[in-house]
Amino acid sequence: MVIIMLGAPGTGKGTVASILADKLNVPQVSTGDIFRKNIKEGTDLGNLASGYISKGKLVPDDVTINLVKDRIQENDVKEGIILDGFPRTIVQAKALDEILKNQGRKVDMAVNLTTPKEEIIERIVNRRVCSNQSCKTVYNILLNPPKEQGVCDKCGHELIQRKDDTLETVEKRIETYVKTAKPIIDFYNEKKVLQTEVVSKSINRLGADVANDLADFFNKREMI
């Protein structure tokens, strides 16, 4: 089972992927988390990625592709994987197809999340993330606040705001995504694996609702 998450920053890809991972018992792999870990540790990859991420730009394809290629060859994802934040370009999408083909696998579903721009900005600037890399629970201080301000409900670690979760950077990230998204969406639509879901408070449908519906779909499919 290979599921990929598509959508602009702030549409809830991480939330949906996390819930799906729990319900389907397959690992969630986020390239963003891997980049942030490397940036914090000051690795060569982290320093390279930091220069792009801090400006709201994409990390070069070759760096990202090699990172993901190594990750999906590990034992814990042989039975399934949820890719959050990859692919982000058509080059990455085609490379992923080749990587999976060599493993005798393919993308089962590309989940495309859409959210109004004003809601995306509101979510991201108010987003807080658990500083514990083993937890990484995401909160929104307006929509989904922790019980205690600044403290993770699950593990008690400090909640932090990502350096790239500023208004200026968010707008650049959305602009960058819009420019690169259409070819990827068309790519998976042609393969008939695209599933578009609207995530918006205006229709009272949030990431958890989407995740639960998708988990039910995959669980029923496994029973057939």
| Residues labelled as active-site residues | 13, 88, 127, 162, 173
Give the closest residue to 115 by CA, choosing from 21, 207, 186: 207
Phi-psi region of 76 (alpha: psi -120 to 50; beta: other; left: phi over 0): alpha
- How far is it, in rounded angstroms, from Cα 88 to Cα 58? 8
Between the alpha carbon of residue 218 and those of residues 19, 20, 26, 161, the distances in Å are 13, 10, 12, 33
Which residue's entry shows tokens 């420019």?
Answer: 179
User: What is the DSSP pairing of strand 194-198 with strand 109-114?
Assistant: parallel
DSSP E strands in 16-157: the ranges are 28-30, 81-84, 109-114, 127-130, 138-140
Q: What angle do CA 4, 190, 182 make, to 5 degrees?
A: 65
* Structure-token pair, residue 130: 């658990």
Rg (CA), the chain: 17
For residue 210, give the DSSP letter.
H
- How far is it, in rounded angstroms, from Cα 70 to Cα 161? 29
